[in-house]
Amino acid sequence: MLYLNVPPMRLVNYLIDSPAMRIVGYDYLGDLKIVLSESLEDGNPAIDRDELVTWRRGSSHLINLSCHAMGPPTPRLAKSSHVRLPMIARRGVPRDSNPQRREHRLRGVGLGSVGPHRYREIKTPHGGHGSSMEVAMAVEETSLVAAAPAQSPLAAMMGQLVRGTHVSQAISVMARLGVADVLADGPQPVAEIARQVGAHDSALYRMLRALGDVGVVTELDDRWFALTPLGALLRSDVPGSLRAWATMIGMPFHRYSWTDLYETVRTGEPAFDRVYGTQFFDYLAEHPEDAAIFDTAMVAISTNEAASIIEAYDFGRFGTIVDVGGGRGGLLTPILSANPHLRGVLFDTPTVVSGAPGELSRAGVSNRCRVVSGDFFDSVPEGGDAYLLSNVIHSWDDDQAVTILRTCRAAMADTACLLIAETVLPQGRQPSPAKLADVGMLVLSTGGRERTEAEFRAVLDRAGLRLVRIVPSSGRFDLVEAVPHARS
């Protein structure tokens, strides 16, 4: 794999259709990852060199990747571009050849024309060894002129990290307004988008223009905008939708507490309690509109994680699952759907589960799922073969977590199993998104935290449970499996 240090807020949503290479994604800082395939149709490539030409706004820039092919390369050209930086695929040729150039208009997948950008194919004779292939990204039209020297890479990266809060807030506003739903059927002029979502024309244009630079939308001619595959995740009606979560991140009840992180780091006291004068869940109980936004976001997170959890763990060995703190059934519903013999009990506070029957009915599992309301600090329903706690334990300090686990243990038979679906912090120094999520718990909750395997083991042991194993999934959550101490 070859890594190119590319400014993370620009290079997104590219596809290259070539038997020689493909873009596979971006790492945590947004660096572009390109994989060279093991073989071309007529030979094997070997990387000769890679070169990054820095760029800045308003200039034209190149990122060149050159490799030598052991036979005549036959790559096909990139077929799509979803943002303002079009992909240009070019076959290099020997200096003494006469390339024949052809221009092709780029078209976005499902979007129609994405603007006046073009890419060029340079036809080359089928030479032997030493012919080269280049892949270039160009800003603006097809002018391929290297940029003037830009600020240092470290300064550019730090600047983008510092401005990350501006990006997340703009994305949250776009999600809350429902802009992605308006653009679902194709590009629209900003005046029409503003009319449909109830926004100010000029202000909305300025925000969407900025989001075009991070790949969420594409700005077209005459103040038109199109949705990108990245931005499509903010639609309400797509699998894996992040609209509810993105909306919550920018809401005042969530955002304001982060502004007090300084005092939290100085004192160790949760920011939310200090800013609002009450604890997080007590606040939600008194503010139903914010509580509804939070609940919807939690349902979306559970639903999005469900597929990876179901793939990772065999729920089919149980007869009845009790989902403790299960919200409106975002995780339990797909588990029941995937296991037709399974029965479920959905348990949460009265306010939360009030909306669950409709969700269960729409999913066709209401005849196999009982809805029970209560407080998991006091008791939980008995009779389950498995007790599931998804995204629950991390909201509480160790003593409160032990209390919740003890109430589960009291309801469990000695043959039952307890499952905690949460992110497990790595024990060492390896990168993990759970670390930033843990800072979020520091800000929002009174004692809540993400935990390592050792920390999970400790609270489970205090509750009379023994950690058996941690089952990783392909998503954000792992499954911590525990059984009563009484079981040998």
Do 228 and 217 form a contact (C-beta atoms < 8 A)?
yes
For position 299, what pLDDT does the model report? 84
CA atoms 75, 79, 83, 89: torsion sign: positive
Provide the 8-state DSSP code for 154. H
Across the chain, how many H-helices and E-strands are there? 17, 21
- Burial readout 145-161 (b: 16 or more C-beta within 10 A, e: otherwise): eebeebeeeeebbeebe
Per-residue pLDDT tens listing for the chain (488 residues): 333 333 333 333 333 333 333 333 333 333 333 333 333 333 333 333 232 222 222 333 323 332 222 233 333 323 333 223 333 333 232 333 333 332 222 222 222 223 333 333 323 233 333 322 233 333 233 333 344 455 678 888 898 899 999 999 999 999 999 999 999 999 999 999 999 999 999 999 999 999 999 999 999 999 999 999 999 999 999 988 999 999 999 999 999 999 999 999 999 999 999 999 999 999 999 999 999 999 899 888 888 889 899 999 999 999 999 999 998 898 999 999 999 999 999 999 998 898 889 889 999 999 999 999 999 999 999 999 999 999 999 999 999 999 999 999 999 999 999 999 999 999 888 888 899 999 999 999 888 999 999 999 999 999 999 999 999 998 889 999 999 986 54
Say if pTM beats, i.e. exceeds, 0.75: no
For position 287, what pLDDT does the model report? 95
Integer distance in angstroms from the first to the last C-alpha of the chain?
47
CA distance 89 to 17: 9
- Which is catalytic among the residues 82, 117, 254, 394? 394
CA distance 386 to 369: 14
Provide the 8-state DSSP code for 315. G
> What count of residues does the chain have?
488
CA distance 31 to 153: 12
CA distance 446 to 470: 26
Give percent helix, percent strand, percent coil of the chain, each to the nearest 5: 35, 25, 40
Tell me which residue of 279, 287, 186, 297 sits closest to 242, measured CA to CA. 297
| Residue 40 tokens, joined | 């071309």
For position 422, what pLDDT does the model report? 94
For position 399, what pLDDT does the model report? 96
Active site residue 394: yes
